[in-house]
Every structure is written in C-alpha cells, then in structure tokens.
Amino acid sequence: MTLVTVSNLDEVREVVNDAMADRRQVEILASGSKRALGRRCSYDLTMDLSAMTGIIDYQPEELVITLRAGTPMLEVGAALAQARQMLAFEVPDYSHLFDTSGSGTIGGVVATNLSGPRRLTVGAARDYLLGFEAISGRGEAFKSGGRVMKNVTGYDLSKLMTGSFGTLAVMDEITLKTLPSPETSCSLIVEAVDFAAAVSKISGLFATPHEPSSAAILPASLAKEAGLQESSGNDSCVIVVRLEGIPISIGNRLDNLQRLAGGYSLEAPASEALWAKIRDVKLFATPVHDVWKISCAPTDAPSLVKKIEHNHEINYFADWAGGLIWMTSDSNNLGHDLRAALATLSGGFALLVRDSGTTRHTIPPFQPLADPLLALHKRVKAAFDPLAILNAGRMHEGI
C-alpha cells in the first residue's frame, strides 16, 4: 500500500484527482489513533494528514478556534488550557481500548464525533463544529459554516461532516466553539440497590435546579476496583454525579443534592481522575475482549442490560445518566443480541468499538441501516464522493 503525505488542501485535491482518474480508493489518516474503529477495508493508498498541523487562529474571547486537521489533541488541549478554555464535549482517548498510544488529532475527533461524559448536558463534537474547508471526493474545494458562533446560512454541513468518518470529504481549517473551563469540580457518590434504581435516582437529581454536568453508573465490582466505597448487595450500583463551576456554587449544589440522595463526595483531584477513567473507558482494566458502545434512552438501559445478562457473561458500566453503556464480553453473538434487544426498546444503537479478534467479519461494527435510510445514506455519500474514493466502506458497505 502506498503512503502519501499531504501538507495542505491543494495537495489533498491532487491526490483525490489522481485517485479519481485511476479509480483508486484512499484511506484518510492522521495519527491513526482511531484506525481500528469501523469496518476494516483495504485501500490502494493512504493519505497521511499528520503534517497538516497548527492552530490557525484562536480568539479566546470569541470562543472560537480554527485548526489544521492534523493538529494533535495534546497541542489543542495545551493551547486551550493556557486560556482556561476547553472543548466542552470532552474529547475521549480510546487508545486504551485499541492498544495504541496518543490521543489523536482534531480531525480524527471531528470525523468520529466522539464525545465524553459532559456530552449529556453540553452536547457532542457535532454541536461544536462551526465550520470547515474541505476537498470532496469529487476533487473539489468547498467550505461550509463559518468562524462565528451563530450562523444558519445554507445547509449545516458541519453536522453532516462530524461523525462521517472521512467518507465524504477531507477537512482542514476546522473551526470549533470553545468554552471556559469550570473553575473546579467535585463528584457525589451515591449507592443504589440496582441499575434500574440508579437510573431512576439520577432522573430525580436532574429534576432539580442543581445542574449536574454528568452522571455515571458503576456496578459494584467496577466501583470497588475504582476505589469507591464497597457496595452492599450483589446487584448494587454506585452512582457518580459530577458538579462543575465556581467553588461556592459547587459547595451549595453538593449540599443540596446530598440532602436529597445521601452519599459522599469526591474532591476535585480524585473526581477528575475518576471522570477521566470513565471518559477513556479505563474502568475496564485491560480489555482483552470485544468492547461495545451502546446508546439508548436512559430508562431503557436497565432492561437492556438485564436481557443481555440473561445470555451473556458481561462486564459493563454506564455514562450519560444511563444512556451510554460500555459493555465487554468474550461471548459470541453479543452484538446480535444487543441490536435485537434495542429494537424491542425505544431505539438506539450498538457500535463495536474494540474488536479483539474477528468479530467484525461476523457482524457489522456500525448498526445496519434499514432501507430507505440506507438508500438515502448512499445518495448522500454519492453527492460528495460519487466514485467512493474516500474511506469507502469504513461505515457501511459502499459508504
């Protein structure tokens, strides 16, 4: 396989134009930290964007940053931290699951629409992409959005590009909305008799004006490994609720929530360390098995887990108030059963994140799309990449 390093969009266009003429399929890659996500396809050519780095413009008081696609997240994080700002959706680092190192690039983060625990309350990567420039699979330069926060001019292609896994166009000059980092944070740790009780307790806490920013649920065994107080019953769970803001506010909200739910608190350092583990899925010690990411309505999560536990030996924990479940198991057919169970509930999806062997040959890593949605996806793909040159097949067959 050929590797081509590109340093700007003009060079990207040349590579795409050549690939169109030769009908060659191109893999788009920067650091490769998320290369294991999605379907495994073979490509004629790998286009390496990791030389396209740098912050083009950062105006903290405008809450806007414009970056080259291959800028490493470490560099992005450092620049933002200096201005006490952040990407509020919390960029996760899945290198632990993929046995890779490095937290990737901003281009990869946008292309995969990966978000962390705060996604529950502040939105996903897709909510923070304001604009971009790109080369389509037609070898044409186009831009969408802008460098301002409020903009409804033309179709919101930023949404479409986020999470499209590089299958539509190659992006550069990515503009994101930033937000001030919270001054401090803490967590409230509360026990619940089981998963269902935990979800319902969290619903109660969110029905108050005390503004939790995230909420996770750890089964007793994982809670114990994470160094949290040991739970009492077999089915018991530990709820972790995060509060962020200025110190006086957090103290006040913590008191109020504790009055409602009991439990004890974790101060900032321990709380931050725990949320980093939740965000990066490091609560699973050393994953040797497949890891699935399931998104569903929070109140569906307990019955989903119960159904699955009936037939499979699993390890799991939940984020997003129950709406995101991380599940690992060496059991066969877990993916099939997850998707079947989701279909009986109010919807959702199961994504194979870590494939410890050859699971993706037996089940599509992305949840299959029903016609006519699949047909529409194909038409959208063709609108940007009619010869299926860019990362073709990464998400679904032909897409």
Partner 1 sequence: MLMPVPDQSVIDKRDSICAKLKTLVPADCVVHSPESMRAFDADALSAYRQLPLAVVLPETVEQIAELMKWCKAAGIKVVPRGAGTSLSGGALPLADAVLLGLGKFNRILEVDYDNRCVVAQPGVTNLAITHAVQAAGFYYAPDPSSQIACSVGGNVAENSGGVHCLKYGLTTNNLLGIEMVTMDGEILRLGGKHLDAGDYDLMGVMTGSEGLLGVVSEVTLRILQKPATQRALLVGFDDTGSAGKAVGDVIAAGIIPAGMEMMDGLAINAAEDFANAGYPRSAAALIIVELDGPEVEVNVLIERVEAIMLAAGASSVKISNSEEERNLFWAGRKSAFPAVGRISPDYLCMDGTIPRRRLPDMMVRMSSLSQKYGLRVANVFHAGDGNLHPLILFDANQPGELKRAEDFGADILRSCVEMGGVLTGEHGVGVEKRDLMDIQFTEEDLKQQQRLKCAFDSDHLLNPGKVFPQLHRCAELGRLHVHKGKMPYPDIPRF
By CB under 8 A, the residues from 46 to 85 that bind partner 1 are: 59-64, 84
Residue closer to partner 1 (CB basis): 96 or 119: 119
* Residue of 232, 248, 259, 286 interacting with partner 1 (CB under 8 A): 248
Token duo for residue 121: 């309350």
d(CA 35, CA 100): 10
Residue closer to partner 1 (CB basis): 34 or 228: 34
* Residue of 4, 55, 179, 226 interacting with partner 1 (CB under 8 A): 179
* Residue of 7, 56, 235, 245 interacting with partner 1 (CB under 8 A): 245
Q: Is the four-CA dihedral 269, 271, 275, 278 of positive or negative sign?
A: positive
Contact (Cβ atoms closer than 8 angstroms) between residue 157 and residue 110: no
- The residues facing 68 across adjacent strands are none
First to last CA, the chain: 21
- Binding to partner 1 (CB under 8 A) within 10-39 occurs at 17-18, 20-23
Closest contact distance (angstroms) between CB of 139 and partner 1 is: 8
* Residue of 102, 376, 397, 398 interacting with partner 1 (CB under 8 A): 376
By the rule CB under 8 A, 317 interacts with partner 1: no
d(CA 71, CA 162): 16
* Residue of 249, 258, 303, 331 interacting with partner 1 (CB under 8 A): 249
Residue closer to partner 1 (CB basis): 229 or 252: 252
Residue closer to partner 1 (CB basis): 62 or 230: 62
d(CA 31, CA 355): 19
Contact (Cβ atoms closer than 8 angstroms) between residue 160 and residue 111: no
Count CB atoms within 10 A of the CB of residue 316: 24
Q: What is the dihedral of CA 226, 183, 108, 31, to 10 degrees?
A: -70
Residue type, 63: L
- Binding to partner 1 (CB under 8 A) within 254-293 occurs at none
- The residues facing 170 across adjacent strands are 135
Tell me whether residue 226 is exposed, middle or buried, using C-beta atoms within 10 angstroms of its C-beta: 0 to 12, 13 to 18, 19 or more: middle
User: Going by C-beta distance under 8 Å and a sequence separation of 6 or more, which residues neighbour residue 319?
Assistant: 117, 120, 214, 215, 216, 217, 278, 279, 326
* Residue of 82, 252, 344, 362 interacting with partner 1 (CB under 8 A): 252
Q: Applying CB under 8 A, which part among 226-234, 245-253, 282-290, 326-334 lies near partner 1?
A: 245-253
* Residue of 29, 36, 111, 157 interacting with partner 1 (CB under 8 A): 157
Q: Which of 160, 109, 111 is nearest to 379 (CA)?
A: 160
Residue closer to partner 1 (CB basis): 61 or 232: 61
By the rule CB under 8 A, 324 interacts with partner 1: yes
- Binding to partner 1 (CB under 8 A) within 115-134 occurs at 115, 119-120, 123-124, 126-127
User: Going by C-beta distance under 8 Å and a sequence separation of 6 or more, which residues neighbour residue 252?
Assistant: none
- Binding to partner 1 (CB under 8 A) within 225-244 occurs at none
Q: Which of 314, 349, 348 is nearest to 334 (CA)?
A: 314
* Residue of 50, 71, 113, 329 interacting with partner 1 (CB under 8 A): 113
Residue closer to partner 1 (CB basis): 1 or 248: 248
By the rule CB under 8 A, 360 interacts with partner 1: no
How many residues contact partner 1, by CB under 8 A? 96
The 188-207 contact track toward partner 1, x by CB under 8 A, reads: -----------xx--x--xx
